[in-house]
A and B are shown apart, each in its own frame.
Chain A
Amino acid sequence: MHDASTRRMLGIASHAALVPLATVTMLPLLWLVLASFKTAEDFAGSVFLPTDPDSGAIDLTRFTIANYARLFTEVGLGRAMINSVFLASTTAILATLCSAAGGYALARFKFKGRGTATLLVLAAIIIPPPLLLAPSYQLLFHLGLLDTFTGLIVPATAPAFGIFLFRQATRQSVPESLIEAARIDGASEGRIFLSLVLPLVRPMIGAFMLLTFLAVWNNFITPQVVMQTPERYPLSVTVAQMRGLHRQDYGLLMAGTLVSVLPVAGLFLMLQREFIQGLTSGAVKG
């Protein structure tokens, strides 16, 4: 419809709007990265690059990795990182397995109470997690699971949203006839699930594991309530507590934030496509 020059003009106009917006989005991140390499003095004395206090000239030699060293010697962030990796990966694997098995059963088996079970799960999706905060705390207290990894992991392995997603995925990509054929061939039910169903819903497995990993990594309120021993805190709680413990140590706070974010950002960049797919799978079809 448009001739070439109008098209070019529109293209330039789009970039003219997008470039400033992209810059504004990136500035705080740039500031975060640079601040993590600055001393407390330079943090307050410069916006981005550190300057010599006397001449006011930019002085890159003032950058320091001292903040990062202190994170692991003074703050104990290494321990918190191990806790986060352990919590996030264990929860992601268990939640995906439970949801995949349950979702497959809800989608492809006929049994008494299937309608009720499905309805129960669907209804549970709308429960706001804060509603369960106080009763779960009481329950974990009586089970003796407060301040334990089990108390954080096990309750998170049966996400209503997860079993719902895998029910949809199974319905879409695992044909009934294929299962029947495998049964006639004499394959055991466990074998059918492991080597037929799971490979067919693989895209959902990748996306859901990633989403769960990220959700656990970034979860703050649950570990804040359940955990009491600082050695068991995940990164989110440890870093948030740094704000109270190292009030004026801005460079240290920013270094802690950056270190906590980097593993997840790296994971995302590696698996970007699967992530976006998982994010939008519920929406676009609906």
Chain B
Amino acid sequence: MSASGTRPARTAAVFLLPFFLVFGVFTVYPLILSAILAVQQTHGPEYATFVGIDNFAALARDADFHKAVRNTIVYTLGSVFIQLPLALGLAMLLNRPGLTGRGVYRLIFFSPQLMGLVFVAMLAALVFESRTGMLNIALDRTIGRVIDPGTLLFWIPALENIDWPAFPWLQTFIMPMLIIASLWMYVGYNMVYFLAALQNIDRSLIEASAVDGAGPLTRFWHVTLPAIRPVGSFVVLLSVIGSLQLFELPYIILEQSGGPQNRGLTIVMYLYQSGFESGDLGYASAIGWVLALMLIVLALGQIWIMRREDR
């Protein structure tokens, strides 16, 4: 009888060993190491000096870092307040009973997600490029030819004498362009979550409220929204977490820089520049900890709000 007690325990150890061995060496240990690095200044991976909290003090005064934080927050707000409502609206359009071609629409809207961030960045960089980009050539061929720039003067003075093919979208509107590119990539992705949630709603619930005389808006507010709230808050959390770690899109579009006056610099880009271009792994780790702290506060904040609403 004693064997049956120890055999499973030994088996559990064998099953857990590969995962926890790697997990310990490549997740737990680097986590500890990052705390040690955060109080050091390094030159490459080998030479380090202890600097205490100087890294964090420097971050508090670092104008580039502040710019990176501001840009990242702008992008995150764009994701949550522009992208997610659009995704929900699209999901509701697709959820209409008896809609023909739902599968095709879903696939089309989801397709940009298949490309992956790096490749979306490659495409967006050329789409927005001045002179040769799809956007500018298309604008030139349509607005530029149909409307004489002189007549535009009446309604949008700023558009006077714009040379469409040369308009530098990426240099002028960096953050809006990044938000548009990520809209293209992620609206369909988030729509899939919302659609799955909407299809789980009991239709009789909506029909019953319609019988009770509730209008479409009331129904949306009192039946649909509460029903998809668990999925909704999951999607919000995922978007916030993903947006705060924005890197590939600006890094590739702006050709490994923060763009003019660092107007496209993000937190992770600055972390990368500090650690792997300047070679200060300590400063990079300090930035990493600020990022982690932001994420933890936001995640806990959201859980707290959810709990409060549940009561």
Least Cβ–Cβ distance between B69 and chain A, in angstroms: 14
Closest A residue to B48 by beta carbon equals: A138
Chain A residues with CB under 8 A of B116: 214, 217-218, 236, 261, 264
A22 within 8 A of B: yes
CB-based contact A243/B122 at 8 Å: yes
Segment with Cβ contacts to B, from A64-72, A73-81, A127-135, A200-208: A127-135
CB-based contact A220/B18 at 8 Å: no
CB-based contact A131/B16 at 8 Å: no
Q: Which 10 A-B pairs have the closest CB atoms?
A: A218-B116, A102-B19, A131-B288, A135-B33, A109-B12, A158-B22, A155-B26, A105-B15, A135-B30, A141-B45
Least Cβ–Cβ distance between B113 and chain A, in angstroms: 9
- Assess A111 versus B13: contact at CB under 8 Å? Given A130-B271, A132-B31, A132-B34: yes
Chain B residues with CB under 8 A of A28: 112, 123-124, 127, 134, 184
Per the bound structure, the CA–CA distance linking A21 and B188 in Å amounts to 11
Per the bound structure, the CA–CA distance linking A44 and B133 in Å amounts to 7
Q: What are 15 inter-chain pairs, A to B, with CB distance below 8 A?
A: A11-B96, A22-B109, A26-B111, A104-B15, A105-B16, A133-B275, A134-B284, A135-B31, A138-B42, A189-B7, A225-B272, A243-B122, A261-B116, A279-B193, A283-B196
- Which chain B residues numbered 12 to 48 have a C-beta less than 8 Å away from chain A? 12-16, 18-23, 25-31, 33-34, 37, 42, 45-46
B66 within 8 A of A: no
B125 within 8 A of A: yes
- Which chain A residues numbered 209 to 236 have a C-beta less than 8 Å away from chain B? 214, 217-218, 220-221, 225, 236
Per the bound structure, the CA–CA distance linking A1 and B219 in Å amounts to 15
The 8 Å CB contact of A11, one of B98, B117, B141, is B98
The 8 Å CB contact of A21, one of B90, B107, B134, is B90
Q: Is the interface of B mostly helix, strand, loop or mixed?
A: helix
Chain B residues with CB under 8 A of A254: 122-123, 126
Least Cβ–Cβ distance between B17 and chain A, in angstroms: 9
B225 within 8 A of A: no
Least Cβ–Cβ distance between B126 and chain A, in angstroms: 6
The 8 Å CB contact of B119, one of A43, A239, A244, A283, is A239
Closest B residue to A130 by beta carbon equals: B268
Closest B residue to A266 by beta carbon equals: B114
A98 within 8 A of B: yes
Per the bound structure, the CA–CA distance linking A18 and B247 in Å amounts to 31
CB-based contact A18/B94 at 8 Å: yes
- Assess A102 versus B299: contact at CB under 8 Å? Given A25-B188, A29-B112, A214-B116: no
CB-based contact B20/A158 at 8 Å: yes
Task: Pick from B34, B90, B118, B267 the residue with the most CB of A within 10 Å.
Answer: B118
- Assess A158 versus B292: contact at CB under 8 Å? Given A11-B99, A130-B271, A218-B117: no
Per the bound structure, the CA–CA distance linking A283 and B98 in Å amounts to 25
Least Cβ–Cβ distance between A21 and chain B, in angstroms: 7
Least Cβ–Cβ distance between A177 and chain B, in angstroms: 15
Segment with Cβ contacts to A, from B56-64, B73-81, B149-157, B228-236: B228-236
- Assess A132 versus B108: contact at CB under 8 Å? Given A11-B99, A126-B296, A284-B196: no
A168 within 8 A of B: no
